[in-house]
Amino acid sequence: MKKIYLAALLIAFSVLSLFIGVKSISITDIFHLTGDQWEILWISRIPRLISIIIAGVSMSIVGLIMQQLTRNKFVSPTTAGTMDSASFGIMVSMLLFSSVGPLGKMSVAFIFSLTGTFIFMKILDRVKYKDTIFIPLVGLMFGGIVSSATTFFAYKYDLIQSMSAWLYGDFSMIMQGRYELIYISVPLVVAAYLYANKFTVAGMGEEFAVNLGLNYKQVVNLGLVLVALVTSVVVLTVGSIPFIGLIVPNLVTMYLGDNLKNNLSHTALLGAVFVLACDILGRVVIYPYEVPIGLTVGVIGSGIFLYMLMRRKSYE
């Protein structure tokens, strides 16, 4: 799909997203908004839209980077334990440093998700049997272990209620004053653009990268730091949104190839459109109630993931 169509779709969905909700605001009201309507837009709908777009863009891009660096199409923050480790970090920060603010929570979550991702990479190094499917399955199992630990401690210390906000992504709680942390993802996405060529070279494998004079280890580590940071920021502000980092980049690279320079902006756009579409669907399907984004994306995403698994021959 051309970039221009994706951009048009993004704008259309964005407008739609602003005018869906319990409090009815019609697009025709836009020039004579009542104070009430203006407040709803300003405090709830616009922050929601911004966080949807940033989350969609950044999660898709870090998924793409992860697939490039591991040279495996099925590795993503969901299938490498990164997201589960971030949730674990949030739980730990609530347990041990309950008084810290969002930035403190983010730092703890970041340290945990980075550690989790490195552990996954170490497991990857040790695995002799490098089947395309085997690796993400190991990642899912690893993530499962981490998340069961999270649940265990959350039950034990009576945190399950507050934890569930981070275990399942949900945009309905987003409002002015409690989502701004997500802006941290913006410079991270810019960094991904600046390093696009280096990530592509790293994706050709260590020997290739060294031959071309690239500091391979440094680039891989930088990529993993980006992945862990973005994941922690998104999990902390929205909650975990599974599979975006997996299916969006796959859909794009299927058509555009693996040169990051060519596929980054498509991935970013499609990521935003996909999350936005899922969010709108979740808001209208049992209107006036809402299905949280984690569930909508989870259902649609796992469906697409299964479909991809079944036609994986084309990846090998």
Partner 1 sequence: MVKVRGVSKKYGGKMVVDRVNVDIAKGKITSFIGPNGAGKSTLMSMISRLITKDEGEILIDDKEIGSWKSGELAKKISILKQSNHINIKLKVKELVSFGRFPYSQGKLTKEDWIHIDEAIAYMDLGSMQDKYLDELSGGQKQRAFIAMVIAQNTDYILLDEPLNNLDMKHSVQIMKVLRRLVDELGKTVIIVIHDINFASCYSDYIVALKDGIIIKEGTTDEIMDSAVLKEVYDMDIPVEIIGGNKICVYFR
Which residues contact partner 1 (rule: CB under 8 A)?
Answer: 71, 196-198, 200-201, 203-205, 207-208, 210-215, 253, 257-259, 261, 315-316
* In the complex, least distance from residue 270 CB atom to partner 1, rounded to whole angstroms: 17
Crossing angle for the helix pair 260-284 and 3-18, to the nearest 10 degrees: 30
* AA identity, residue 263: N
Q: Which of 245, 252, 250, 242 is nearest to 296 (CA)?
A: 242
- Taking the alpha carbons of 85, 88, 94, 97 in that order, is the dihedral positive or negative? negative
CA angle 266, 184, 105 (to 5 degrees): 130
Nearer to partner 1, 45 or 73 (CB): 73
Residue 172's nearest CA partner among 271, 52, 56 is 52
CB 121 to partner 1: min, Å: 17
Q: Which of 103/254 has CB closer to partner 1?
A: 254
Cβ nearer to partner 1, comparing 51 with 253? 253
Question: CA-to-CA distance for 124 and 111, rounded, in angstroms?
Answer: 20
**Minimum distance from residue 262 beta carbon to partner 1 (Å):** 8
Q: Are 101 and 165 in contact (CB under 8 A)?
A: no
φ, ψ (nearest 5 deg) of residue 219: -65, -40
Which residue number, 57 or 214, has a Cβ lying nearer to partner 1?
A: 214
CB 257, min distance to partner 1, A: 4
Q: Rounded to whole angstroms, how far apart are CA atoms 4 and 197?
A: 23
Q: At closest approach, how far in Å is the CB of 116 from partner 1?
A: 25
Would you say 19 or 195 has its CB closer to partner 1? 195
Minimum separation from the CB atom of position 152 to partner 1 (A): 38
19 or 315, CB closer to partner 1? 315
Q: Report the b/e string of 213-228 with b at 16+ CB within 10 A.
A: ebebeebbebbbebbb
The owner of tokens 């040790």 is 126
Exposed/middle/buried for residue 234 (C-beta within 10 Å: 0-12, 13-18, 19+): buried
Cα–Cα distance for residue pair 264/252, rounded to 1 Å: 9
Whole-number minimum distance, CB 79 to partner 1, in Å? 17
| Cα distance between residue 83 and residue 58, in whole Å | 14
Identify which of residues 8 and 210 has a Cβ nearer to partner 1 in the complex.
Answer: 210
Q: How far is the CB of 109 from partner 1 (least distance, A)?
A: 32
- The token pair at 50 is 């911004």
Residue placing its CB nearer to partner 1 in the complex, 251 or 276: 251
Cβ at position 303, least distance to partner 1 in Å: 24
Q: Which is nearer to partner 1, 219 or 277 (CB)?
A: 219
